[in-house]
């Protein structure tokens, strides 16, 4: 899982990868902006992925390096315009769940810049 967490991404510098039972995490920083990415493997059953897609309809969707049939992410922000604090939640059909948490310091633009340099496709061996 840590292959998807580069040491430097989109102008952000990463701290060492933390390895835990069932998930990995790396904290990124650029100036006062701090973002934490956690990746866990949670196998999907039945229509779990479709339920995620349905639930995400009410939120702004993220642009990812995978097709929406393989991964879907949405932003949760303090205001609808995304200029305030935001977080990003991503689910891959293959079972990986990715939480990108800004801790109140990251805007949607910050998260988009970081995630543009995070190769989620690496989780699928690409």
Q: Among residues of the chain, what percentage have pLDDT more than 70?
A: 97
Record the tokens describing residue 103, joined without a space. 């801790």
Domain total in the chain:
1
Query: Which domain does 70 fall in, by range?
Result: 2-124
Distances (CA, A) of 117 to 9, 20, 36, 79, 89: 5, 23, 14, 25, 16
Tens of pLDDT, residues 90-105: 999 999 999 999 999 9
Cβ atoms of 104 and 36 within 8 Å: the answer is: no
- Per-position b or e across 98-115, b if 16+ CB within 10 A of its CB: bebbbeeebbbebbbbbb
pLDDT recorded at residue 75: 94
Whole-number Å distance between alpha carbons of 107 and 119? 20
CATH number of the domain bearing residue 12 = 3.40.1000
Residue among 117, 120, 126, 124 at smallest CA distance from 89: 120
Cβ atoms of 62 and 52 within 8 Å: the answer is: no
pLDDT recorded at residue 47: 92
Whole-number Å distance between alpha carbons of 73 and 103? 18
Q: Is the pLDDT confidence value at 116 over 90?
A: yes
């Amino acid at each position: 899982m840590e292959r998807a967490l580069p040491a430097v991404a989109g102008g952000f510098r990463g701290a060492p990868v933390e390895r835990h039972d069932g998930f990995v995490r790396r904290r990124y920083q650029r100036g006062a902006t701090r973002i934490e990415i956690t990746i866990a493997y949670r196998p999907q059953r039945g229509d779990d992925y479709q339920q995620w897609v349905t639930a995400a309809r009410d939120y702004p969707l993220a642009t990812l390096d995978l097709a929406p049939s393989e991964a879907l992410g949405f932003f949760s922000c303090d205001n609808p315009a995304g200029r305030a604090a935001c977080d990003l939640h991503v689910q891959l059909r293959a079972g990986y769940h990715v939480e990108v948490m800004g801790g109140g310091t990251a805007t949607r633009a910050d998260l988009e810049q970081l995630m543009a340099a995070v190769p989620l496709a690496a989780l699928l061996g690409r």
